[in-house]
């Protein structure tokens, strides 16, 4: 099951398959696609898993073991790659809330987000080599952009699983939060990102823009009512 919450410009997508540690099968991929369709227009997107054991534990081996031909395997990989690409291309900020372990394909979903926030007892790893396969959902390329090609090869090639603190040190995780406060604090962060200006900031940080484009984005916000209300509050405090 994939659940979607929409509130105050924030869309929260939750993978909820407790019996499979939130692993993805073909039906869940279809539900995720529908949730992303429904989230269009939100200012920010958050992706998380249900419970506190797993964010996404990769593909559901019991279900996906029915795929026996190269054509079937390629079709599944391309389908899930397209969904990760949609997460990465979401116009507003995307936060992955790692409520539990993100392993294999789960790590690939996590790195499709702009920001990864992890509970302090979670682990993340590209351990597909344990199954004698490779990342196929775009995770290898995105991992290399985050930590560098050499380190990405070392991590994915050995299948090493990192704890949250080490993942943060390497730049794979952006923020580590205490488990007791995790749900409240990641939601606070996500809500703070659900603004018009952070949408513009994402555009500035994820692609090269000309000085004219950057100035135009600034000018659109400068003349907005929201900007002048905030400016008036700041100026009034200085009186």
68-110, pLDDT tens digit by residue?
999 999 999 999 999 999 999 999 999 999 999 999 999 999 9
Question: What is the C-alpha separation between 116 and 47, in angstroms, rounded?
Answer: 10
Question: What is the C-alpha separation between 211 and 204, in angstroms, rounded?
Answer: 10
Tokens representing 76? 């599944």
Residues 182, 119 contacting (CB under 8 angstroms): yes
> What pLDDT is attached to residue 225?
83
State how far the alpha carbon of 193 is from the alpha carbons of 6, 115, 121, 122, 183, in Å: 14, 11, 24, 23, 16
Residues 190, 46 contacting (CB under 8 angstroms): yes
> What pLDDT is attached to residue 208?
56
Confidence grade of residue 207 (pLDDT, cut at 50, 70, 90): low
135-194, pLDDT tens digit by residue?
999 999 999 999 999 999 999 999 999 999 999 999 999 999 999 999 999 999 999 999
Q: Can you give the length of the chain in residues? A: 239
Question: What is the C-alpha separation between 58 and 50, in angstroms, rounded?
Answer: 14
Q: Where are the domains of the chain?
A: 2-193, 208-237
The torsion defined by the Cα of 164, 28, 146 and 221, in degrees rounded to 10, comes to -110
> What pLDDT is attached to residue 27?
96
Question: 2-193: which CATH architecture?
Answer: Alpha-Beta Complex (3.90)
Question: What is the C-alpha separation between 18 and 80, in angstroms, rounded?
Answer: 20
Query: pTM of the prediction?
Result: 0.88
More confident residue, 175 or 228: 175
In the chain, which residue ranges form alpha helices assigned H by DSSP? Answer: 26-39, 61-64, 70-89, 105-111, 139-147, 149-158, 164-170, 182-193, 196-206, 211-222, 225-237
Averaged confidence pLDDT in the chain = 92
> What pLDDT is attached to residue 226?
79
50-73, pLDDT tens digit by residue?
999 999 999 998 888 898 999 999
24-59, pLDDT tens digit by residue?
999 999 999 999 999 999 999 999 999 999 999 999
Above 90 in pLDDT, residue 220?
no
Question: What is the C-alpha separation between 88 and 13, in angstroms, rounded?
Answer: 14
HSE-CB at 191 with a 13 A cutoff on CA atoms is 10
> What pLDDT is attached to residue 209?
61
Phi and psi angles of residue 173, each rounded to the nearest 5 degrees, phi first: -120, 140
> What pLDDT is attached to residue 238?
63
More confident residue, 140 or 222: 140
């Amino acid at each position: 099951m994939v659940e979607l919450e929409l509130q105050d410009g924030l869309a929260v997508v939750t993978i909820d398959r407790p019996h499979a540690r939130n692993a993805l099968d073909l039906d869940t991929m279809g539900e995720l696609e529908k949730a992303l369709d429904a989230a269009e227009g939100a200012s920010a997107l958050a992706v998380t898993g249900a419970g506190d054991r797993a964010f996404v534990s990769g593909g559901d081996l019991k279900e996906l073991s029915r795929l026996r031909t190269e054509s079937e395997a390629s079709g599944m990989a391309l389908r899930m790659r397209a969904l990760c690409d949609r997460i990465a291309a979401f116009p507003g900020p995307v936060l992955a809330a790692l409520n539990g372990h993100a392993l294999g394909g789960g790590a690939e979903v996590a790195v499709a987000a702009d920001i990864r926030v992890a509970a302090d007892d979670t682990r993340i790893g590209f351990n597909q080599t344990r199954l004698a396969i490779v990342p196929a959902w775009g995770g290898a390329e995105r991992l290399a952009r985050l930590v560098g090609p050499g380190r990405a090869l070392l991590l994915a090639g050995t299948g090493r699983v990192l704890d949250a603190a080490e993942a943060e040190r390497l730049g794979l995780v952006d923020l580590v939060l205490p488990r007791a406060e995790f749900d409240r604090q990641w939601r606070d962060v996500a809500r703070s990102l659900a603004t018009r200006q952070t949408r513009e900031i994402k555009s500035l940080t994820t692609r090269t823009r000309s000085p004219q484009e950057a100035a135009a984005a600034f000018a659109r916000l400068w003349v907005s009512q929201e900007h002048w209300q905030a400016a008036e509050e700041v100026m009034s405090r200085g009186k």
